[in-house]
């Protein structure tokens, strides 16, 4: 292995290192990083971790800077925050379906049963969201880790790296929020419900009727664009920072994995059948 001196701190570094592990000086600048500022490495001596909300903010507006800090002091807080926030947002889909099905017409506005049943729908869809995100996020991270293993020639440290990788899902709040807003606006308002069987039939119509189809397609398109587009780029940055590897190779592997993931997602979704 060829060693050299870091031009800033004079620490011994390998000729294959992209950054100095002591002072974070960028030793190798790739053409892609020069052309795309979003992918540029952050160059600053790390001193102490950011506050939690500062990490969330930078994860939303400048992910490479946030990841630079997170890899120095990994934390489970980002993944937990992203996961449970998205689960709580997902529960609103149940409330939307409950209202759009015409169910509130069966109750007086002040009836406790209206609120109880509405909250029940919220809880049921929050539970579905929990299952959905466990499967979806787990699938994405596993697929990206397998791609990074070969693209970057690494031995993934699965348990340790998850504390870093799940931070990339913090921006998923915008994705889930957009999906909820689209369903609230795009699903038709049903009426003429006279009993609970009509409510159940109405919810079925909201899922499968031709009038509802455009809204569900829009939701799935947004999810494909985020999870297999934008999140793919964020995961490439995360693997690059965590293992100090090439941006170009990390991005290439992540894009291939993203395409495979998008194909699988499309094949299992009824809206694309």
Interval 90-133: pLDDT, tens: 999 999 998 888 877 776 655 677 778 888 999 999 999 999 99
8 A C-beta contact, residue 30 and residue 248 = yes
8 A C-beta contact, residue 117 and residue 94 = no
Q: Which helix (H) or strand (E) holds 12?
A: strand 12-14
- The token pair at 106 is 């069966």
From 269, 258, 61, select the one nearest 141 (Cα to Cα): 258
Residues whose CB falls within 8 Å of the CB of residue 194, separated by 6 or more in sequence, listed in order: 106
Side-chain-facing half-sphere of 74: CA atoms under 13 Å: 15
Predicted confidence at residue 110, as pLDDT, reads 56
Q: Which residues of the chain have a pLDDT value below 50? A: none
Residues whose CB falls within 8 Å of the CB of residue 229, separated by 6 or more in sequence, listed in order: 258
- The pTM (predicted TM-score) of the whole model is 0.89
Q: 22-31 long-range CB contacts below 8 Å, 24 or more apart?
A: 24/68, 30/246, 30/247, 30/248, 31/248
């Amino acid at each position: 292995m060829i060693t050299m001196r870091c031009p800033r701190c004079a620490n011994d570094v390998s000729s294959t290192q992209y950054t100095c592990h002591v002072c974070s000086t960028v030793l190798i600048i790739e053409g892609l990083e020069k052309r795309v500022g979003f992918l540029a490495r952050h160059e600053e001596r790390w001193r102490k971790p950011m506050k939690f909300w500062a990490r969330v903010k930078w994860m939303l507006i400048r992910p490479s800077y946030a990841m630079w800090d997170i890899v120095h002091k990994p934390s489970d807080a980002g993944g937990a925050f992203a996961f449970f926030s998205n689960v709580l947002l997902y529960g609103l889909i149940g409330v939307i379906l409950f209202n759009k099905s015409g169910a509130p017409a069966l109750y007086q506005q002040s009836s406790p049963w209206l609120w109880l049943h509405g909250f029940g729908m919220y809880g049921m869809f929050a539970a579905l969201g929990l299952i959905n995100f466990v499967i979806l996020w787990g699938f994405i991270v596993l697929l990206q880790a397998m791609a990074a293993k070969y693209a970057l020639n690494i031995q993934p440290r699965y348990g340790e790296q998850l504390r870093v990788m799940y931070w990339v899902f913090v921006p998923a709040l915008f994705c889930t929020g957009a999906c909820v807003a689209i369903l609230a606006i795009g699903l038709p308002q049903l009426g003429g419900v006279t009993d609970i069987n009509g409510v159940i039939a109405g919810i079925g119509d909201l899922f499968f009727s031709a009038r509802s189809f455009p809204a569900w397609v829009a939701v799935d398109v947004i999810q494909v664009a985020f999870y297999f587009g934008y999140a793919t780029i964020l995961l490439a940055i995360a693997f690059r920072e965590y293992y100090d590897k090439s941006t170009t190779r990390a991005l290439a592997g992540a894009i291939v994995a993203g395409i495979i993931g998008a194909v699988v997602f499309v094949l299992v979704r009824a809206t694309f059948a």
